[in-house]
């Protein structure tokens, strides 16, 4: 439908119909704008969440490249994972359930914090870095589908 068609339509109806059509048009415009704003806000939250996941991934890689418990780094990781969990709970949408985000966040958290995490007996585990990267990538990709 072109603008010419719209103009022809409006010129063929009476004034009361034009007012009604204008009101309906305004309401539709308002609803579309509000939904668009809501979607952009949601997408911004997803983007911020993906950045936090990336930061936690980097911290996890750094942690598992060192021997022994690195307590300050472990605290940063636990804190970052808590923030990520809070962000996901805040989003709490059907899309998150559809893309199995809960399981992906569990996999990501376990890839970083399982085993000898926070133990003085911890050794370097370069193989774990691949697990961290893979689980972070799966989680970020699933978040981008939401």
Q: What is the 3-state secondary structure (H, E, C) of the chain?
A: CCHHHHHHHHHCCCHHHHHHHHHHHHHHHHHHHHHHHHHHHHHHHHHHHHHHHHHHHHHHHHHHCCCCCCHHHHHHHHHHHHHHHHHHHHHCCHHHHHCCHHHHHHHHHHHHHCCCCCCCCCCCCHHHHHHHHHHHHHHHHHHHHC
Domain span at residue 127 reads 40-145
Instruction: Answer yes or no: is 25 within a domain.
Output: no
Domain count, the chain: 1
The answer on pLDDT for 95 being more than 90 is: no
Instruction: Answer yes or no: is 77 within a domain.
Output: yes
Q: What is the mean pLDDT of residues 37-41?
A: 67
Instruction: Answer yes or no: is 78 within a domain.
Output: yes
Predicted local confidence at residue 21, as pLDDT: 63
Mean model confidence pLDDT for the chain: 81
């Amino acid at each position: 439908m072109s603008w010419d068609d719209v103009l022809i339509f409006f010129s063929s109806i009476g004034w009361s119909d034009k007012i009604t059509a204008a009101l309906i048009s305004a309401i539709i415009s308002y609803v579309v704008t509000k939904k668009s704003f809501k979607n952009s806000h949601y997408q911004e939250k997803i983007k911020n969440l993906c950045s936090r996941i990336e930061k936690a991934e980097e911290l996890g890689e750094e942690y598992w490249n060192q021997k022994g418990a690195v307590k300050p780094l472990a605290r940063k990781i636990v804190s970052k994972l808590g923030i990520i969990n809070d962000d996901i709970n805040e989003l709490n949408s059907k899309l998150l359930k559809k893309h199995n985000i809960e399981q992906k966040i569990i996999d990501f958290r376990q890839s970083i914090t399982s085993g000898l995490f926070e133990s003085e007996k911890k050794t370097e585990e370069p193989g774990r870095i691949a697990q961290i990267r893979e689980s972070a990538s799966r989680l970020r990709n699933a978040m981008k589908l939401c």
